Amino acid sequence: MLAEWTNTIVQGVLLGGLYGMFAMGLSLIWGVMRLVNIAHGDFILLGAYVALVFGETAGLHPLAALPLVAAAMALLGYALQRGVLNRTLGKGLLPPLLVTFGLSVVVQNLLLQAFSADSQALRAEGLTTASLQLGESLAVGWFPLGVFASALLMGLGLQFLFARTAFGRKLRATSDDHETVQLLGVDEKRMYALAMALAFALMAVAGVLLGMRTSFAPTDGPANLLFAFEAVVIGGLGSFWGTFAGGVILGVAHAVGFRLDPGWGLLVGHFVFLAVLLFKPEGLFPRTR
């Protein structure tokens, strides 16, 4: 009994790594330019579909296609920010939300049109089913473990980028005071575009790993957004590790919920989110700014 619950919690933690990955892109963009991209989940899904195309046309294994997908998505993110989203900044609350909401509708329906509503999956035989035996009754899949490790690496990478590199410094400075940073030679529009390109690359990785882990359909985008969002709220704004922790908590909530009753799986996650919102609205691990 205990072993089964331990197994459930471990699965939840590993799943939470993926949610943390979803959330990092969202959190990064909000941190740098206070923009919430409502199409976030749809773009994650786009990453999975791009990998699917690479797989079907060039026969590439999803992991081999990953760098290509990330590069393609990064370019898309840069172009999107420069061409569309930069125009919505500094004009109030409505434009960024309404434009990204419109983009969400467009992306979802483009995917529907191109790939139909059927579920797809990225084929990676063997990799996704192999498991590591820990003790008597606990088996941990290599793939979920790998996803979790990737999420950790992503968090460490972002942490390093922001704290130690010139680019990260410029991003933080732009986020602090985007007028003054221009006086020092930093083009804020370019900074935002580069940040979005980075976020899109992260979303591409998340999308490919998601597609390898489970089947996906064009209408799954909003669910990804919700998970990313709930992870950010649970964990708290302002720190990547907080967001990561939020993702893990959400993953455990889902795992526990599904174990109790398949119809209630997602609801447990929502209730945890609502509870945090009610009792600790700043999140469980916020970093005060």
Partner 1 sequence: MTLVSTHALTAFYGDFQALFGIDFELAEGEVAAVIGANGAGKSTFLRSIAGANSADAGAVRLAGAPVGGLGAPRMARLGVSLVPEGRRLFPSLSVEENLLVGRSTGRVGPWTLERLYRLFPRLEERRAAPALQLSGGEQQMAAIGRALMGNPRLLLCDELSLGLAPVVIKSIYETIPQLAREGVTLVIVEQDIGIALGVAQRVTCLQHGRVSLSGAPAGLTREQISAAYFGH
Partner 2 sequence: MSAVRVERATRASRIAAAGAGLVLVAGISLPWWSDAGTMRLAVEFFCFLVMAQMWNLLAGYGGLVSIGQQAYLGLGGYLLFALANHAGLNPFLCVPLAGVFAALVALPTAKLVFRLRGGYFAIGTWAVAEVFRLLLANVSMFGGGSGQSLRAMAAIPRATREPLAYWFALAAAVAAVAGVYWLLRSRHGLALTAIRDSETAAASQGIDVAFTQYWVYVVSAAGFGVVGALYYMNILRISPNAAFDVNWTAYVIFIVVIGGIGTIEGPILGTILFFVLRETLAGFGAWYLIALGAIAVVTMLYFPGGIWGAVQQRYELHLFPVRRWLRKA
Binding site for partner 1 (CB under 8 A): 166, 169-170, 172-173, 175-177, 179-188, 289
Binding status of residue 272 toward partner 2 by CB under 8 A: no
Q: How far apart are the C-alpha atoms of 28 and 168, rounded to whole Å?
A: 11
Q: How far apart are the C-alpha atoms of 30 and 243, rounded to whole Å?
A: 12
| CB-neighbour burial class of residue 89 (10 A; exposed 0-12, middle 13-18, buried 19+) | middle
* Binding characters for partner 2, 175-214, by CB under 8 A (x = yes): ----------------------------------------
Kindly tell me which residue out of 82, 173, 270, 284 binds partner 2, with binding defined by CB under 8 A: 270
Q: Which structure tokens are listed for 133? A: 């035996």
Least distance from C-beta 75 to partner 1, angstroms?
Answer: 23
Write out the binding residues for partner 2, residues 19-78 only, by CB under 8 A. Answer: 30, 34-36, 38
Binding status of residue 230 toward partner 2 by CB under 8 A: yes
Q: Which does 166 bind (CB under 5 to 8 A by kind): partner 1, partner 2, none?
A: partner 1
Angstrom distances, CA of residue 77 to CA of 73, 116, 142, 181, 184? 6, 24, 31, 22, 25
Q: Which structure tokens are listed for 206? A: 């998340």
**Residue carrying the six token digits 């919920």:** 257
Q: Which structure tokens are listed for 264? A: 């209630």
Q: Which does 175 bind (CB under 5 to 8 A by kind): partner 1, partner 2, none?
A: partner 1
- Residue 140, classed as helix, strand or coil, is strand
* Binding characters for partner 2, 91-130, by CB under 8 A (x = yes): x-xxxxxxx-xxxxxx-xxx-xx-----------------
Between 197 and 233, CB nearer to partner 2: 233
Amino acid at 127: L
Angstrom distances, CA of residue 255 to CA of 92, 152, 198, 262? 39, 20, 30, 10
Which residues contribute to the site for partner 2 (CB under 8 A)? 30, 34-36, 38, 84, 87-88, 91, 93-99, 101-106, 108-110, 112-113, 222, 225-226, 229-230, 232-233, 263-264, 266-267, 270-271, 273-274, 277-278, 281
